[in-house]
Amino acid sequence: MPELPEVEHVKRGLSPKIIGEIITGVHFSEKVTAGKSSGKQTIIKGTDLETFERNIIGSTIKALDRRSKYLIFTLENEWHEHYIISHLGMSGAYFVVDQLEDIGIPNYINHWHVAVHLQSGRQLIYSDIRRFGELRYIERLEEATQIMAIAPEPFDDEALDYYLTQLTASKWQGRTIKEAIMNHSVVSGCGNIYACEALHLARINPNKTVKRIGRAKRIELFQAIVHVLNEGIKYGGSSISSYRNVEGKEGFMQTRFNIYGRKICATCGGPVSQKVIATRNTHYCTHCQK
């Protein structure tokens, strides 16, 4: 699943290509059309296809922002600003091309689902192999309740204090620290991959409950989270299975993992343990992480 660093790279890649463009049309794949016709929320969430299309055609793409793992497209027409909120799910990807075949990656060509036509003649294509992602049209940001509940961005000044306060809540005391830091109400954008890497860097066993971790160690962990997220951004994100950036290229962060997906710990050379925590496969070293 694309996490914060990957979504940040999608935002950076898309912004210069689409900001200032006017939307002139929208087309949907047969999978989306069939899904919506049968009452499913396939890709386009919260509204029918006709309403989605009618609301965005004629609008200018004014800005593109990222909030945790969500992309926020700010649209503007003669009446007001409005928005598309998008999540990449497990395998979503965006491309800006003259024609679909220009994507150049068969899986993403075959699994395109939304084509937004731009005044320049180019197309903003959303592809999604597993179809767990979404585009959701909203009139006001306050309608995006899933975003309103997210913690501050981990790079913001207030994020550390917010995180420390959240960890004092009674609901977290008996839960594992990994489950806590993967929750967006505690830390923004720290998914499974970067949680494993941060816990390894901070030398904390992911099975340890929150109540057994002191304030100093909690701070050390937060700093580790920020570090691995910054590393992820620096190295283009992690391409574990299907992630590609706007140019169709893989990231390189996976070549720098110390624990995630490894058989041998990069720190001590010992065997890597695995366990499912909060439904996610967790990698850790029992020698390095106590």
Q: What is the pLDDT of residues 144-158, one digit of tens each?
A: 988 989 999 999 999
Of 36, 66, 69, 218, which is the active-site residue?
69
* Residue 106 designated active-site: no
Q: Classify domain 159-284 by CATH number.
A: 1.10.8.50
Calculate mean pLDDT across residues 33-62: 96
Calculate mean pLDDT across residues 252-259: 89
Residue spans in the chain of domains classed CATH 3.20.190.10: 4-148
Judged against a pLDDT cut of 90, whether residue 117 lies above it is answered with: yes
Three-point CA angle 126, 128, 131, nearest 5°: 120
Of 3, 6, 53, 179, which is the active-site residue?
3
Are the C-beta atoms of residues 104 and 248 closer than 8 Å to each other?
A: yes
pLDDT of 232 reads 93
pLDDT of 253 reads 86
Cβ count near 172 (within 10 Å): 20
Judged against a pLDDT cut of 70, whether residue 240 lies above it is answered with: no
CA–CA separation, 256 vs 251, rounded Å?
11
Which amino acid is it at 239? S
**pLDDT-based confidence at 236, cuts 50/70/90?**
confident
Which amino acid is it at 148? M
* Residue 3 designated active-site: yes
**pLDDT-based confidence at 191, cuts 50/70/90?**
very high
- State pLDDT tens for residues 155-186: 999 999 999 999 999 999 999 999 999 999 99
Calculate mean pLDDT across residues 101-118: 96
pLDDT of 164 reads 98
Three-point CA angle 75, 113, 16, nearest 5°: 40
pTM: 0.93
Cβ count near 146 (within 10 Å): 14
Of 62, 203, 256, 280, which is the active-site residue?
280
Among 102-106, 242-246, 283-287, the minimum mean pLDDT is found in 242-246
Q: Classify domain 4-148 by CATH number.
A: 3.20.190.10
Residue spans in the chain of domains classed CATH 1.10.8.50: 159-284
* Residue 76 designated active-site: no
**Residue with the two structure tokens 């005044």:** 119
**pLDDT-based confidence at 290, cuts 50/70/90?**
very high
Of 2, 5, 154, 206, which is the active-site residue?
2
* Residue 2 designated active-site: yes
Judged against a pLDDT cut of 80, whether residue 252 lies above it is answered with: no
